[in-house]
Structure 1
C-alpha cells in the first residue's frame, strides 16, 4: 500500500461530520450551483480504455488549451482504473489472488498507479497532474468506481480515516458491480460508509478535482439500483470544500418517479448505455432525448455520453460525415454535456470544425426552451435565444432514404413575415422566408438553423427594475468590427466594463471609461458584457458571428 502523508486531525474530521449533518438537511437542489451550462471537455475512455497515462493526459491538456479552450472546452477527464496495475488493454478483472493489483492507501482509498502516473509517488496522488491541467487554464476530471476495493477488504482490511471502523465493516456483497469485480458496494446504513466517502472527497478536493464521473451508479436497466449511494456521494461532494461536477454512469437512467429523482442529486446522468460509433446507438439517442428534455436546466443535464468521433481504441470512428453532424446537432439542441471521446491530439480539420463552431456551441451553451416539436423519423427540435424572438431549429432524418422536412415558423412562435434563416454549420444566411421552409435531407442527415424575425437582435439587455417600473438602459453595446463598443446613453460619468465568454472566462476588464469604450474580442461566440457605473449595473448578451 502507498502511505498517505497528509492525515486529517480528529478535530478536522469532526468538523467535516458536523458539516455533513448540516448538509443532510439542506435542499438537494443546492448542487445546481456548478455546471450552469452543459460541461464541455474530453474523456480518456473511448481512446485509451483503462491504460491512459500521465503524459497522454498532459498532451491532451496542451492541445485543448491551444485549440479548444477559447470555444469553451475545458474539462480533461481521466477515466477508468487509474489505480489498477493492469497492462492488459482488454482485461481488468482481478483473479482469485487479486491480480492485477489495485493501488490504495492505508485507509483503503485508491491511489494512482505510479507506473502510469509517475508524479504521484510519495503520496502526492493526482495533485501534480491536476496542477498541470489547471496551469493550462483547464479543469481536471476523474472517473471512480462505486464502492470500496475488494482487495483491501480481503487483505489488509485498513481502517476508515479518523475512525476505528474497518473497511470490512462498511462493505456489502449485496448488489456488486456486475461487469467489473474490483469493488464491493458500500453499506450506506453503516455510519462508517458516509465517513469513508467524506474521506475520499476530502482527498480529491486536495488534489484539485473539478469533475467526478462515478460509475456503476445506475444499472443499464430500468431500476434505480443505488439511490442511497447516489445521495451519499452527493453529500460527500457538497462537504468537501470544492465545487465538483457529479456525473453518474452508466445508463439508461430511468425517468424520475415518486421514489427517486436523479436530477436532484447529479449534475449530469447518462440517458443511454455506452454510446459507440454505430447508427443504431445514435438513433436511440433521439428517443431518450425526447423523454428527458424537460429535466435539463442549469446544474442538471441529461447526458448522451461521450462523443465517439475521431480515433477511438477500435480505430477511426465509423460514423459517416452526415452522422457526425447529426450527433453534434442533436447534442447541441438537447443541451447534452459535450465530452469528446476521440484521440484529441490527432483531430483532423473536419473534426475540429465540429468542435470550433461558436454558432453551434452557442445553441448548447446559451439557449432556453429546448424541446422537440415534431417526433418520429423526421424530428424537429427548437430552442430560444434568451430574451429574444430569435429561434434555433434543428431538423433530422432518421430514415434510410431521403426525406423532406418542413419547418412551420408558427410552431416556433414566429409569426412575422420575411424572416432570415441562417445555416449554423455553414455559417451563412440561406435566404429570407415567410411562414415555412422545406428542406430535403439525405439518410441520417440533419440541419441546424437560426431563424431571425425582422429587427430582432442577439443583444439581450438586462434592465434594472425599481418596484414595477423598468429603468431605461444607460448603456448601449454593439458589434463594431473586431470590437465590442460600449456607449453611455445619458451621462459622461465614468463606468467600468467587464467582458466574459459564455463559459464564464474573463476576456477584458476596463475601468475609468468616459462616454464610450471599445473592447477587442477575438473570434465568434456569445459574450456577456457587464457595465458598472456609480448608479447602475447593466448586463448585455452579445453574439458575434
Structure 2
C-alpha cells in the first residue's frame, strides 16, 4: 500500500512538472504592444509604423510589430519564457540612408545584436534562448536626429512562453517616498510675484495662499480699475493705460498673516511667468466632455492645488463641433451643452480656461479645424471619415472668427496644434491680439529650432519636441536636451517640453499609472521647474494619490518655475553621469539641480530598468560653477536648510533621481 502511494505521488509530481513545462507561442502583435513601448513614436502590431503592411526587402510579413525612430520595448518575463524569435530589418517605406541596429537584451546581457542594417537589406534572423531571463528589452537604435519615417520592423516576432504565462509590463513598485512637509496653519502666499495684462482687457489674478481656512485677503496699491474679493482673493477688472504698479498682497487668518509684493505690468506683454494648470488630453483624450472639465476644476480647488498657484483648466482636442454662431466660428459639439456657462463657472473659482484648435481642416482627432476648402467652413461627413487626408491648411481660413468667439466665451489659453509653419502662427497671433482679451498662445508640436526667433516674436510658448510619453527615454528627450533652447525662453515666451507625465495617464495606451519611477518623477518636476517650463498636469486631478499631490504642491519648487526673472536653467556640466543645471533667480540666489542620468543612451543596456540600479555618491565643486564664496544651501524638496558650504558639497543621488538646491550667498 505504501509503495503504491509513493508511486502515485511520483506520477503526480512528474505530470505536474511536464504540465508546467508545456509551451505555447505568443505573437508579439497579439500583445497590447503599445503598453510595452517606452519609445516616443507609437508602435503598431501587424503593420509598419505608418499603418501599412510590414515589408522588408520586398517580402511582406503578416505578423510583427512596426516601430519608428529609436524604439524601446520592455517586457517582464520573470523566467516564464523559453525563447524569442523574429526577422528584423528596415521597412520598405522607411528611410533609405540611416543605419539601424537591433538588440535583444536580457537581464543586462546582450543576447542578440544585429549588423548595421539599411533600407533594402534582407531581414536578419533572431533566435535567442530566454530560459531564466526575468527582464527583456527589444531595442532599435537609430541616430535619426528628428528625421521622419525611420521605420523598422520586428517581423514574425514571437515569444515561446511556459504554461499559461504571458509577458507583463515592467514592474514599477519602488517606494513612493514623500519629501515635502505639509503646509502650516498660518497663511503663505504662493501666487506669482509679477503679472502682465494688456490695457483695457479683462484682468483675472487669484491670490493663492495655503493656511487654515477661512483666510481674508486684501491688497494695497492696486491700480485703478481693479477690485479684490476679500473672501476668495480673486482680483478682476481692467486697467486702461500702460503702466507698472507695485502692490502689496495680504492674507490673514487666526494663525497669522502673510504679505507679498506683486508687480503688475500693464503693457504689450502677457505671460510674465509660465502657465501652470491642467490639460485634458493625457487624462481623457477623445472622451473629454463638459462634466469631466467641471470635475477637474472642482478637483483643482478641493485637492488644494489652487492654493499653490495652479490656475489653468485646458480642454484639448475633441470639443469641436461645426461652425456657426454670430462669428461663424467653431462651436462646441454635443458633449459641451453650455460652453459659456462652463467657462463662467470655472472663472468664478478663480481659475482660467484653455481650449485647443488647429489651422488645419481637421484636427488630429478628426474634429473641425481652423480652415476649410468650403467658403463657410463646413466639415461634411466625407471629410470626417477620411480625416487623415485633411491635415493641411485649407483654402479658406477663419482665425479672426475663432479668436473673436474665444474672447466672447472668455477663453484664456489657446493650444494651436499642427506641424508648424510661420504664416499660420502669425495669422492666429494677430487675431488673438485683436480679440479684446488676453489669451495665452501656445503652439504645438515639435517647433523647428531654426524658426525660434519667430516663435519668440509671435507666441507665448512653443513645443520644443514631440508628444511626451510616460517613460524615462521620452522625458530625457523632451527635457534633458533643451539647453540650446534656453536663451530664447523668458517673460512672455516660454520653451514648452509638453505636459507632465505624473499620476494616471493615457499616453499611447489605456489609462495606467505613470511608468516613471518615484525618483524619475522627482527629476521630472525638478527639471521642468528649473527650465521655467509650463507646468500642465496631464492626469485626472481627482485621481491624484498622496505622493503625486505632494510632488505638485511644493511651493519652493513651484516658486523656482515661477521666478520673476524668468531665466531658464543652463546645463553647466556633465560629470560622472550627473547633469548639473544652474538657474539664476530674481533675488540674486541660484537654483541647482544635480541629476543622475548615468550612462543613459550610451549603451544598449542603459535604455532599460534592471532593478539593480544604485545611488551615486557625488561631490559637487561649487567653484567650478563660478561660485567662489561661502553659500547657504537649502534642500528645496525637503524645505530644509543644509548649512553653509564653500568649495565642495557631497550628495547621494538616486538612479535617474535628483538633488535640488537653492544656493544663497551669505
TM-score, length of structure 1 as denominator length: 0.63
The equivalent position to 1:49 in structure 2, one of 285, 291, 301, is 285
Instruction: Supply the distance in 1 between the matched residues of 2:368 and 2:562 (Cα, whole angstroms).
Output: 43
Deviation at residue 40 of structure 1 after TM alignment? 0.2
Deviates more, 1:70-79 or 1:366-375: 366-375
Match of 1:201 in 2: 403
Cα pair 1:414 1:453 within 8 Å, conserved: no
Relative distance call for 1:405 and 1:266 in structure 2 (3 A) is farther
Alignment of 1:391 with 2:590, yes or no, is: yes
Instruction: Supply the distance in 2 between the matched residues of 1:243 and 1:143 (Cα, whole angstroms).
Output: 16
Match of 1:483 in 2: none
Q: Specify the SS of the correspondent of 2:416.
A: strand
Deviation at residue 236 of structure 1 after TM alignment? 0.6
Alignment of 1:133 with 2:352, yes or no, is: no
Match of 1:408 in 2: 621
Deviation at residue 76 of structure 1 after TM alignment? 0.2
Cα pair 2:479 2:497 within 8 Å, conserved: no
Deviation at residue 404 of structure 1 after TM alignment? 3.8
The equivalent position to 2:431 in structure 1, one of 236, 241, 246, is 236
The equivalent position to 2:337 in structure 1, one of 90, 112, 118, is 118
Relative distance call for 1:152 and 1:394 in structure 2 (3 A) is closer
Q: Specify the SS of the correspondent of 2:324.
A: coil
Match of 2:559 in 1: 362
Match of 2:308 in 1: 71
TM-score, length of structure 2 as denominator length: 0.52
Instruction: Supply the distance in 1 between the matched residues of 2:467 and 2:310 (Cα, whole angstroms).
Output: 22
Instruction: Supply the distance in 1 between the matched residues of 2:427 and 2:267 (Cα, whole angstroms).
Output: 13
CA RMSD of aligned residues (A): 2.9
Match of 1:8 in 2: none
Instruction: Supply the distance in 2 between the matched residues of 1:55 and 1:246 (Cα, whole angstroms).
Output: 25
Deviation at residue 440 of structure 1 after TM alignment? 2.6
Cα pair 1:293 1:371 within 8 Å, conserved: yes
Alignment of 1:185 with 2:185, yes or no, is: no
Relative distance call for 1:257 and 1:305 in structure 2 (3 A) is closer
Relative distance call for 1:80 and 1:31 in structure 2 (3 A) is farther
Instruction: Supply the distance in 2 between the matched residues of 1:183 and 1:103 (Cα, whole angstroms).
Output: 17
Greater C-alpha radius of gyration:
2
Relative distance call for 1:179 and 1:157 in structure 2 (3 A) is closer
Relative distance call for 1:327 and 1:152 in structure 2 (3 A) is closer
The equivalent position to 2:322 in structure 1, one of 90, 103, 109, is 103
Cα pair 2:283 2:504 within 8 Å, conserved: yes
The equivalent position to 1:261 in structure 2, one of 454, 460, 466, is 454
Match of 1:94 in 2: none
Which one has the bigger strand percentage?
Answer: 2
Instruction: Supply the distance in 2 between the matched residues of 1:249 and 1:180 (Cα, whole angstroms).
Output: 18
Instruction: Supply the distance in 1 between the matched residues of 2:367 and 2:536 (Cα, whole angstroms).
Output: 32
Instruction: Supply the distance in 1 between the matched residues of 2:570 and 2:345 (Cα, whole angstroms).
Output: 39
Match of 2:415 in 1: 213
Aligned residues: 369
Deviation at residue 287 of structure 1 after TM alignment? 4.3
Deviation at residue 392 of structure 1 after TM alignment? 1.3
Alignment of 1:526-545 (within 5 A): none
Q: Specify the SS of the correspondent of 1:33.
A: coil
Instruction: Supply the distance in 2 between the matched residues of 1:186 and 1:403 (Cα, whole angstroms).
Output: 54
Match of 2:88 in 1: none
Instruction: Supply the distance in 1 between the matched residues of 2:475 and 2:650 (Cα, whole angstroms).
Output: 24
What whole-Å deviation, never above 9, does each CA across 1:442-486 have from its counterpart, x for those lacking one? Answer: 2101111012222xxxxxxxxxxxxxxxxxxxxxxxxxxxxxxxx
Cα pair 2:274 2:561 within 8 Å, conserved: yes
Cα pair 1:359 1:424 within 8 Å, conserved: yes
What whole-Å deviation, never above 9, does each CA across 1:364-393 have from its counterpart, x for those lacking one? Answer: 0015543221147421111223142x2211
Alignment of 1:336 with 2:544, yes or no, is: no
The equivalent position to 1:431 in structure 2, one of 635, 639, 643, is 643
Instruction: Supply the distance in 2 between the matched residues of 1:437 and 1:38 (Cα, whole angstroms).
Output: 31
Runs of 5+ consecutive residues of structure 2 not aligned to the other structure: 1-265, 599-605, 607-612
Relative distance call for 1:31 and 1:315 in structure 2 (3 A) is farther
Deviation at residue 405 of structure 1 after TM alignment? 3.4
Match of 2:69 in 1: none
Relative distance call for 1:257 and 1:129 in structure 2 (3 A) is closer
What whole-Å deviation, never above 9, does each CA across 1:181-212 have from its counterpart, x for those lacking one? Answer: 5655144xxxx63xx21111001100000000
Deviation at residue 167 of structure 1 after TM alignment? 7.0
Alignment of 1:443 with 2:655, yes or no, is: yes
Match of 1:324 in 2: 521
Instruction: Supply the distance in 2 between the matched residues of 1:381 and 1:216 (Cα, whole angstroms).
Output: 31
The equivalent position to 2:360 in structure 1, one of 144, 147, 150, is 147
Q: Specify the SS of the correspondent of 1:203.
A: helix
Deviation at residue 72 of structure 1 after TM alignment? 1.3
Cα pair 2:522 2:658 within 8 Å, conserved: yes
Cα pair 1:77 1:140 within 8 Å, conserved: yes
Instruction: Supply the distance in 1 between the matched residues of 2:663 and 2:373 (Cα, whole angstroms).
Output: 62
Deviation at residue 286 of structure 1 after TM alignment? 4.0
Match of 1:542 in 2: none
Q: Specify the SS of the correspondent of 1:381.
A: strand
Cα pair 1:267 1:299 within 8 Å, conserved: yes
Alignment of 1:348 with 2:548, yes or no, is: no
Runs of 5+ consecutive residues of structure 1 not aligned to the other structure: 1-29, 84-101, 120-125, 161-165, 219-225, 455-545
Q: Specify the SS of the correspondent of 1:261.
A: helix
Relative distance call for 1:56 and 1:152 in structure 2 (3 A) is closer
Deviation at residue 403 of structure 1 after TM alignment? 3.2
Cα pair 1:217 1:230 within 8 Å, conserved: no
Q: Specify the SS of the correspondent of 1:35.
A: coil
Cα pair 1:65 1:137 within 8 Å, conserved: no
Q: Specify the SS of the correspondent of 2:400.
A: helix
Deviation at residue 35 of structure 1 after TM alignment? 1.0
Q: Specify the SS of the correspondent of 2:482.
A: helix
Alignment of 1:508-523 (within 5 A): none
Match of 1:292 in 2: 485
Q: Specify the SS of the correspondent of 2:597.
A: coil
